[in-house]
Amino acid sequence: MSAPLLEMRHIDKSFYGVKVLDDVSIDLFAGETVALLGENGAGKSTLIKILNGDYTRDSGDVMLDGQPVHFAEPRDAEAAGIRMIYQELHYAPELSVAENLLLGRLPHRQGAFGWMVDWNATREKAREALKLLNVDIDPMTKMRDLSVVEREIIEIVKALSRKARIIVMDEPTAALTPPEVQRLFGIIRDLCKQGIGIIYISHRLDEVFQIAHRVTVLRDGKHVGTHPIAEVTHKALVKMMVGRDIEERAEVRKNAAAIQLGEVVLDVEKLSKQGAFEDISLQVRAGEIVGLFGLLGAGHNILTQTIFGVEKADSGQVRIGGQVVQIASPQDAKRAGIGFVPLDRKVNGLVMGMSVRKNITLSNWRTLAPLGIFSQGKEMQNTHHWVDQLGIRMAGGVETHTRYLSGGNQQKVVLARWLEANVRVLLLNEPTWGVDVGARSDIYDQLEALAAKGLAILMVSSDIEEVLTVSHRILTIYKGRLTGEFMQGDATQEKLLHTAAGGVS
Amino acid sequence: MQNTATAAPSRGMMPQLGRWLRGERLTTLNLFVTFVIICIIFASQAQFFLTLENFVNIGRTLGVVGIVSIGMTLVLITGGVDISVGSVAALSSVVASILWLQADVPLFLATVIGLLACTFVGFLNGYLIAVVRINPLITTLASFSIVRGLAFVLSNGQTNQLNDEAFKFLGRGEIAGFPVSLLLMIALYILFFFIMHFTQFGRNLYAIGGSPDASRLAGIAVRRHLLIVYTLSGFLAGLAGIIIASQLASSAPRAATGLEFTVIAAVVLGGTSLSGGKGSLIGTLVGVFILRVLDNGLVQTRVSSFYQDVVSGAVLLLAVGFDQLRLRLTSTFGGKS
């Protein structure tokens, strides 16, 4: 076999004496997709940033086509044909696709009008670039009018339009629906056929099995192993990433079969909102976890927002513990005993520049500050109680700003806040987006423990594995209407996908 | 790298204070160094500068800017801004003097009504920002202009004498050798320091400035908090206006012109972020002190008054710029893996 396209060998990197990469090696051949796996903090981003010239390595070699290279800054890596596609896309939403594709190098007119942009040429160039991937998008569409997957595709087109050899994708499917993921995978396979090497970072193992040829796993800054995908199992990968066996959910489930359900706590009756959902009736009992599964945009996210008072319903009513409650704002919802874990915890869930302690106690001043003045000792005590109970891990203690926590720990802080506020109903929106395998399993355990203590949980998710794993009962929603109901034992992926796509159950 | 904080539950206010000092230490340190450098320069140039008498003089000038800066700090922490404070300060004494001189309202009552008028202006600012949702800069730019105009309309452009011994006590009086306005300011700082660091209300202001969306979804009444904060800012600006009138023994519609810039400069110098969620009253107090010392020192060293504004601006840029540089250094070298 010829020399690999890329080789990174024995890479070391420390920050302030703390080793974040310890003798890590990875290689990539032309036309191949290598999945880079590891929990948050395992060193994936550091490794990628070294490849990209963002960080300099302490020791080790980076070789392209067998030749040692040194990238002092991202520009050097780009010149060598290395392209990054980050999780958070960077684009100008008000500009057209063509302008975004050619940003900084728009073609200009000839002659006396050389200072003017040649819009015809811009359009043509953009169209040619889009043809590389057979994408049918009008180059004059504004970026913000595209769907998320389309924006991502534009980002890939942008990467390709400047002679890419290696493309690094960091969780490219985080915001995509299953059909969109398949569309992206089609494109990745095309890229491989063109001889491009792809490093694919994802937390979703099922995707890795679909798209990767080989997989490299990092844990705590060390290289755990590299294997052809055909030679590893799902379970083995998880063990490599987490460093321990994660109990199979099915086992846990069997034990939980005898769950005691209490009274109906959340009772939604004929709730409708124009253009979002219609005639939704559902009940959640104390001790029950109800999963609401739908594809993105099916209306389930707006439904929970409406129950929580963020959006207004047009008709219908909500009862909590048998009492009709009027919820016009999140304050009303909180007063009624409802907690809400929003979709985007970074923007909506947490105050990132505030400490873990302050975020946890943000919603509970009824008992912590009855006269408006905080009881400091009690606040500390309660904070530590939840940190221990939920296993929230952070480097600098409870005064660490939530910004510096991993996704899973951030989510636990949001959970802790509502538990601290002593709610009876918990609404969760996509609770494990961007959360790694170990922490995900932790959160599932917590949800079960909370339900066992009598909390009524309604979990909205577009992740079918998650819904199947956690819920006692599953509802499916399609275009704003409930289309199916399954008990835990009867639900299968096929049935859920069928009804969530509008099929009759 | 962060210090590993103790995991043991700590009790009472002292640990809280300790934590607070740790978090703000570097910003405060920068300020302190700036302050000492300024003092050394002035002391070497003017003999009178480093005397107790001079510092009492400086103390006399702190009250007005100091009091308005409290409201401004709160407003900036919520992520807003209030540039109407200078105009509102002029309004209080104009209303008071008109009522006293032309309607024979007792001066004390007239002063209270003047303060109420300013409080109401603050409330209107808050209503437009929190409920109607007009941008704070635009809202207070409009009221900056409207209120100043009203002060001229009401007073007919005239300066009115306010020669009343009791009234002058606020601005000129002393208790145990300390200027009354300074004592009032210190009392207010203690009160608001307590509110900002030990009450739910103060905590919520930081949360709202840090993330309005997350605060709302955490069940915080964001609108009510904003309303209160702008109302407070109006009240405190009105109070400062009364102190100015008391010091001058007269009310003038053009009083406190440009006060908003001095105040914003002091607050930002004190480490409060214009983007909200971050800031402290202690920083603000130090910021106010630095600006006042700077003014005083420049007069002492006989620097042309034309240069004074240039120097104030340069110090602001230096202090804030240094802080930015520090932030950039820590984020580059202390970045997460």
Residue A325 has pLDDT above 60, yes or no: yes
Q: Is the ipTM of this complex over 0.90?
A: no
Residue A14: strand, helix, or coil = strand
Nearest-CA distance A422 → chain B (Å) = 13
Contact A376 B198 (CB under 8 A): yes
Least confident of A464-468, A484-488, B112-116, B275-279: A464-468
A340-361 pLDDT, tens digit each: 999 888 888 999 989 999 999 9
Q: What is the pLDDT of residues A18-72, one digit of tens each?
A: 788 999 999 999 999 999 998 777 888 889 989 988 888 899 999 999 899 988 8
Judged against a pLDDT cut of 70, whether residue A306 lies above it is answered with: yes
Which of the pair, B43 or A214, is modelled with greater confidence? A214
CATH of the domain at B56: 1.10.3470
pLDDT-based confidence at residue A264 (cuts at 50, 70, 90): very high
The answer for B70, left when phi > 0, alpha when psi is -120 to 50, beta otherwise, is: alpha
Lowest mean pLDDT among A167-181, B37-51, B101-115: A167-181
Give the count of Cβ contacts less than 8 A between chain A and B: 127
The CATH number assigned to the domain with range A262-337+424-505 reads 3.40.50.300
Q: What does the alpha-carbon distance between residue A176 and residue A149 come to, in Å, rounded to a whole number?
A: 6
Which chain B residues are Cβ-neighbours of A381 within 8 angstroms?
9
Q: Between chains, do B210 and A354 touch, taking CB under 8 Å as contact?
A: yes
Residues of chain B positioned with their CB less than 8 A from the CB of A374: 198-200, 203
Mean pLDDT of chain A: 86
For A399, the closest of B5, B11, B220 (CB atoms) is B5
CA-wise closest residue to B233 among B273, B199, B260, B251: B260
Residues on chain A touching B275 (C-beta within 8 angstroms): none
Total domain count, chain B: 1
Chain A residues with CB under 8 Å of B210 CB are 351-354
For range A193-218, the mean pLDDT: 90
Please give the torsion angle defined by the CA atoms of residues A357, A361, A363 and A364, in that order, rounded to the nearest 10 degrees.
Answer: 180
Question: Which residues in chain B touch residue A421, judged by CB atoms under 8 angstroms apart?
Answer: 219
> In which domain, by residue range, is B199 found?
49-327
- Min Cα separation A376/chain B (Å): 6
Share of chain A above pLDDT 90, in %: 38
* Alpha-carbon span B135 to B79, nearest angstrom: 11
Check pLDDT > 90 for residue B10: no
- Report percent pLDDT > 70 for chain B: 88
Within-domain flag for B1? no
B53 and chain A: CB distance < 8 Å anywhere?
A: no
| Spatial separation of the C-alpha atoms in residues A352 and A347, rounded to whole Å | 8
At A94, the amino acid letter reads E
The predicted pLDDT at position A90 comes to 77
Question: What pLDDT is attached to residue A326?
Answer: 92
Whether residue B42 is contained in a domain is answered as no
Tell whether B198 is within 8 A of chain A (Cβ).
yes
Distance from CA of B331 to the nearest CA of A (A): 12
Q: Is pLDDT above 80 for A277?
A: yes
pLDDT at A249 over 60: no
**Which chain A residues are Cβ-neighbours of B13 within 8 angstroms?**
376
Domains A6-242 and A262-337+424-505 in one fold: yes
Domain ranges of chain A: 6-242, 262-337+424-505, 347-422
| Phi, psi for residue A458 in degrees, rounded to 5 | -115, 115
Candidate from A46, A334, A399 with C-beta closest to B219:
A334
**For B36-79, how does the pLDDT look when each residue is reduced to its tens digit (9 = 90+)?**
888 888 888 888 888 888 888 888 889 999 999 999 999 999 99
Residue B26: pLDDT band (50, 70, 90) is low
Q: Options 2.40.40.20, 3.40.50.620, 3.40.50.300, 3.20.20.20; which CATH number does A6-242 get?
A: 3.40.50.300
Question: Are the Cβ atoms of B219 and A331 closer than 8 angstroms?
Answer: yes
Is B51 part of the contact surface with chain A (CB cutoff 8 Å)?
no
B244: left (phi over 0), alpha (psi -120 to 50) or beta: alpha
Is B38 within a domain? Answer: no
Residue of B nearest to A365 (CA): B200
∠ at Cα A139 (A138, A141), nearest 5°?
A: 70
B25 to chain A, any CB pair closer than 8 A? The answer is no
Closest CA to B66 of B231, B206, B236, B197: B236
Those residues with Cβ within 8 angstroms of residue B98's Cβ, 6 or more apart along the chain or in another chain = B154, B155, B160
User: In this complex, is the C-beta atom of B225 within 8 Å of any C-beta atom belonging to chain A?
Assistant: no
More confident position, B279 or B329: B279
d(CA B253, CA A111): 60
Return the H-helix or E-strand segment holding A33: strand A33-37
pLDDT in tens, A393-405: 887 789 889 988 8
Instruction: Determine the residue of chain B that is closest to A220 in CA distance.
Output: B337
Nearest-CA distance A338 → chain B (Å):
10
A45, A362, A380 ranked by CB distance to B218: nearest: A362
Q: Does residue B28 belong to any structural domain of this protein?
A: no
d(CA A92, nearest CA chain B) in Å: 22
Show the tokens assigned to B219.
């069940």
